[in-house]
């Protein structure tokens, strides 16, 4: 059951009347607020219901909007779980006091410590890498090896990247703050702004396409956007992706910046035990394969492989930083972006 059925209808009616959505009485259902908008996630919900008999009601929305909704609903919220993308948004929900800690041998064993909150308030269930793409006719292989290289003056007028308000870029800068300190991170951000080929605009796919179209020579985007183009039914998309060089940055030092899609059990969850069972299900091989095959994300459970197209890009070294730090550093990252004029 999803946003188009019972829970959504009840919630909308209650909102219109200014009343509170009643919490579910039975342990046979689970209420999820999700900012993941991938159709293949339907298989996750169906798989859990098939295994447990627990019906899932779901409301979808943008991550920050769902966080504000949960804050407004408070103790009267019907939601058991918040699912969202990027450690930065998980941190925002954590800072708002929305999560409760979960203790689970399954989660602690199957999810690496760097991909979950130290106190069990949220857990990463799929991983994505932030990669650099380049025009092979304008940039030589090996000329760009690290994120730090994006600020090199030799790339003046070459770089396409999203806006400073984008949570993926906030997390990237947060990782640079952790690696180099605020002053060096600000110097880097200022250098990247000086190298912009155009004012920041569009999403990650737009940055990749801009390189393919010759509008810029270098772009930054998450791995699954690129693989989505490689697997596209449209020949133009496939050709655009295949024409680009791909860099997994910082392989000779700390490793490539990675982030997560994650979830946590909410503080006022009506069904906390069922919610914890759902989180554990997300670490199953079945669920991890859905993340890998459905949205081209890296599984977080060791031993479960990425899909063949993603694997073909090669193995890579990951930045070992705990992704919780990315959230904690985001407020400072936003201040730095503002100071350097990164729109």
Residues 138, 214, single domain; the answer is: yes
> Are the C-beta atoms of residues 134 and 247 closer than 8 Å to each other?
yes
DSSP string over 144-212: --SGGGGG-GGGTT-EE---TTSHHHHHHHHHHHHHH-HHHHHHHHHHHHHTBSS---S-HHHHHHHHH
How many residues make up the chain in this entry?
Answer: 343
Residues 48, 158, single domain; the answer is: no
Distance CA 77, CA 70 (A): 7
Distance CA 291, CA 300 (A): 10
pLDDT by 10s per residue, the chain, length 343: 443 344 444 343 333 333 333 343 445 899 999 998 878 889 999 999 999 999 999 999 999 999 999 999 999 999 999 999 999 999 999 999 999 999 999 999 999 999 999 999 999 999 999 999 999 999 999 999 999 999 999 999 999 999 999 999 999 999 999 999 999 999 999 999 999 999 999 999 999 999 999 999 999 999 999 999 999 999 999 999 999 999 999 999 999 999 999 999 999 999 999 999 999 999 999 999 999 998 899 999 999 999 999 999 999 999 999 999 999 999 999 999 999 999 9
Q: Is residue 244 assigned to a domain?
A: yes
**Backbone phi, psi, residue 35, to 5°:** -105, 5
CATH number at residue 267: 3.40.190.10
**Backbone phi, psi, residue 316, to 5°:** -150, 160
pTM of this structure: 0.87
Whose tokens are 């479960």? That residue is 304
Query: Residue 137 has what pLDDT?
Result: 93
Query: Residue 3 has what pLDDT?
Result: 39
Query: Residue 12 has what pLDDT?
Result: 37
Residues 155, 233, single domain; the answer is: yes
Domain that holds residue 296: 6-127+260-311
Q: Is residue 175 assigned to a domain?
A: yes
The structure tokens listed for 64 are: 């920050």
> Are the C-beta atoms of residues 106 and 194 closer than 8 Å to each other?
no
Residues 111, 215, single domain; the answer is: no
* CA nearest neighbour of 171 among 150, 195, 149, 147: 147
> Which stretches of the chain are assigned E, i.e. beta strand?
29-34, 55-60, 81-85, 123-135, 159-160, 218-222, 244-247, 258-265, 298-299
Whose tokens are 């503002």? That residue is 338
Residues 223, 294, single domain; the answer is: no
Residues 119, 139, single domain; the answer is: no
Distance CA 218, CA 104 (A): 43
Q: Is residue 40 assigned to a domain?
A: yes
Residues 62, 79, single domain; the answer is: yes
**Backbone phi, psi, residue 267, to 5°:** -55, -40
Residues 149, 39, single domain; the answer is: no
Residues 82, 28, single domain; the answer is: yes
* CA nearest neighbour of 287 among 39, 45, 32: 45
Residues 133, 76, single domain; the answer is: no
Q: Is residue 1 assigned to a domain?
A: no
Which residues, 6+ apart, have CB-to-CB distance to 330 below 8 Å? 88, 91, 167, 170, 171, 174
Give the count of domains, the chain. Answer: 2
* CA nearest neighbour of 149 among 64, 287, 158: 158
> Are the C-beta atoms of residues 292 and 305 closer than 8 Å to each other?
yes
The structure tokens listed for 206 are: 């737009």
Distance CA 144, CA 246 (A): 10
Residues 168, 99, single domain; the answer is: no
Residues 282, 294, single domain; the answer is: yes
């Amino acid at each position: 059951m999803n946003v188009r059925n019972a829970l959504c209808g009840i919630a909308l009616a209650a909102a219109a009347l200014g009343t509170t959505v009643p919490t579910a009485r039975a342990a046979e259902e689970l209420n999820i607020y999700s900012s993941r908008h991938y159709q293949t996630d339907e298989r996750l919900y169906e798989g859990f219901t098939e295994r447990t008999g627990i019906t899932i009601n779901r409301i979808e929305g943008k991550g920050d909007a769902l966080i504000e909704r949960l804050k407004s609903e408070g103790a009267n919220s019907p939601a058991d779980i918040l699912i969202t993308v990027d450690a930065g948004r998980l941190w925002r929900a954590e800072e708002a006091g929305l999560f409760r800690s979960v203790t689970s041998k399954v989660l602690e064993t199957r999810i690496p410590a760097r991909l979950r909150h130290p106190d069990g308030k949220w857990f990463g269930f799929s991983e994505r890498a932030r990669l650099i793409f380049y025009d092979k006719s304008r940039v030589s292989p090996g000329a760009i090896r690290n994120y730090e290289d994006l600020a090199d003056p030799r790339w003046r007028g070459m770089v396409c990247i999203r806006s400073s308000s984008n949570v993926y870029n906030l997390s990237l800068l947060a990782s640079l703050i952790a690696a180099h300190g605020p002053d060096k991170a600000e110097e880097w951000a200022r250098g990247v702004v000086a190298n912009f080929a155009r004012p920041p605009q569009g999403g990650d796919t737009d940055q990749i396409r801009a390189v393919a179209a010759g509008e810029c020579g270098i772009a930054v985007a998450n791995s699954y956007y690129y693989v989505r183009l490689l697997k596209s039914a449209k020949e133009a998309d496939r050709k655009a992706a295949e024409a680009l060089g791909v860099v997994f940055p910082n392989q000779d030092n700390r490793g490539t910046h990675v982030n997560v899609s994650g979830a946590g059990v909410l503080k006022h969850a009506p069904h906390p035990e069922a919610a914890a069972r759902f989180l554990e299900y997300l670490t199953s091989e079945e669920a991890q394969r859905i993340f890998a095959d459905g949205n081209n994300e890296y599984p977080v459970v060791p031993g479960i492989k990425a899909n063949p197209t993603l694997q073909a890009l090669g193995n890579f070294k990951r930045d070992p930083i705990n992704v919780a730090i990315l959230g904690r550093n985001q407020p400072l990252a936003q201040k730095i972006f503002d100071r350097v004029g990164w729109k």
